[in-house]
Structure 1
């Protein structure tokens, strides 16, 4: 049989194979498309939009980035519900997980009469046992309840500084709660008195870390005020309080609102115990309105007694009208006394008086009139007990016919003087005048309470007392000379460093500048010169210019540290004031220096001169600037 007879059959078979192959391909593509579409739709319905679906023959390939391993497996299972799970190929990535953030470490220290308790979370690597031991030693107690948890993370920056401050605070405050962390500190405590409260606050403020947010809230019990006093006056300087007491927070707010309305910019009023009536604030408000209606004068509340005093030359009809309206407005518990002084032309210039004076050095003089020998001995003995027996000079003169109660009022004048650092108290039959300076913020109110109690109703007293921060023993402010000495001591111990030929303070001196800022923090109302000096290498003009630029650089560094109490002046002296031999390296090193000097004061003492250096040390070079 010829081969040609098989050709048609062979062709038929080949054609059938091609048709079958083409059909299989179409069927495979249809399956791929159907599977891909069905799986993609299902995944989208279940919220897995981040999955990419591709069909490869009978296999379904899942790609994309899963948020986590759980979501990755869930997406794979969802695809397996649509097609045979064996056909699902999982090549999905998992999103890189962020580094686990360390927990916020903190300690809350509670201290009372029973001991100390610790609550919080601390780093495992932190020496907790040492801290607890230090707490026991600092607070002088063996009772420390440790309820701290720990976690194995790096100790945060400033954690040790916060813990050190916590030890200082818990030592100072026997009743307190102190919250410590690496970014903030909150101190809450109780003090026994207003003075102790101020001491606590000042001590903590001095010790607090500069780079931490520190909140200090010390509370003191309300003082017992006897007599309960308020005194408002208007004179040539404007409206003011000599003393102000309030019985409640609401009463304080009412009085302060009235004070601001009268023109007092920053009034203050002490909340205390001892008010004679719940209508105290309403009565004080009415009294303040009366003085404003007069335009000048004073109103004094001493417990339930009220004294309205006009000024010499005031219209009698206006005074009577205002006094009548005030008497009607005052609550029933109060008794009003009024005084309108005679015109000054009718006042005798030969007034009887008792005068007590105290000098800035602490010496006290008593002069004027006293009733008898017994009263004189009593006044001098009282003054010696108040000021010291070696400080009293008495020039009292015994006379008859003095007003009733003169001796008692003389003792009140001496007591008022004891509240001043220096000043005078002048007592006349119908008035007392107090002048002076004090470092006690409560002195003016105390003197007002004292005179209101001792003088009685209808008496006129004038208090002109200035509070001077430098005299406040609690603030412990240094003198101007002490400030200069402190600054020079700091830079004697740690030199201010400049890079060779540079006018900018080197970073290595940051700690020295911080110490300078702390040393000058309490200095107030003074002018200080920052003097920069060079050696004799280089040209004279170049040395002068370089030293001036370096003095300016130190000035800017201190200004940036907010030293508000000192007015700095920068001055470059160049090579004109050497303190050592410029022919030796040690001498040149000594001559390159910064000096602090009180403007108008004495020059720095010996030993306060060698304060700056260059780093690194420069080798001898003809082209070097004078401080290189």
Structure 2
């Protein structure tokens, strides 16, 4: 017995390493099998669309959890794992992705980022939307708050991608897709953006429609500045189209007879209704100012500056907006420039001659009605008359030789009287003026050309 105990004491220490080696071998073999089954289970699912997929293996038993996008897809995924060679049992923890009713997706833009929220039908859809947002917005931060859900309407991806194209045209705002209905709100980044978005929405996939489009346009602004020092009229801002552009520049050229017109206008859609019909008379009012600024913002006209004399300031304040289309608002902030120093009769005549060498007082064809294009010139003539208070001035009317001689004589007289009336209404004494008509008896040029006839149709100021 003693010998056996001695022998066992020698044997036991050798068993311990053997047990350890056996344990390591068993554990290593099991771990290898489990890792292999996990890899093959994941490989079996590589073409299956799932969310939140998790594979855990214990021995040869697989615990499989995931969210599928259809019942058919869920069952197919479970079957794929069950078919993996070596798998003994699949603990099925799969379920369907939650369904969204209604199915809502939105993109919202603020000053720093675009945030995508709501539901996307598939991981690939979510990825496409994120990529499209980053490509469209070029450098703007894109925040992803989308979740995956079932219940998307057909052609969701196409509709959402088209709507993402529109978010780039917004300064700020939100576009929401609720099932197949689109709602938009916010401010367009540029003039024409609102119209461009509306045009793009006509390409929504079949079955989709716009429930509300509350996109607003940036203010539609037109500005004109009369600078007496540089002797310029500078036009900036927007006009509806090339035809309106040409028409407004031409109108400015007629009304501002001595200023160089600096044209910085650009054609932009989004002009308010009646734009040209408001801007043209507003330019006429600006032409009556020594220095001034005209700002047209949407349907609001603001005119500020200095008139040449008191009566002109009152007339401008009272008359601005009289010819505007219905619904337009206006404000006149008009002061009067300091009166210029008096001059003698000789200087007065030189000033009249200089002014009338730059432009003619125009009348309606065959009538004695003064053209609205001439009020700026008449105000300058009135200011000059105010500077020579002791001079008597003959207002001489002339015509070309077309038509009846007596009719031309009468027309020249009426036109001279119309100019005199303008000066008297400006506050000058009627006793200082004499309206005389000369008909066609004192031509400046031949009446055998249109250019010559135009020179002969005139009003002269003659200081006595």
**Into which bin does the TM-score normalised by the smaller protein fall?**
0.3 to 0.5
Q: More relative contact order in 1 or in 2 (CA 8 Å, sep 6+)?
A: 2
TM-score scaled by length of structure 1: 0.25
Q: TM-score, normalised by structure 2?
A: 0.32
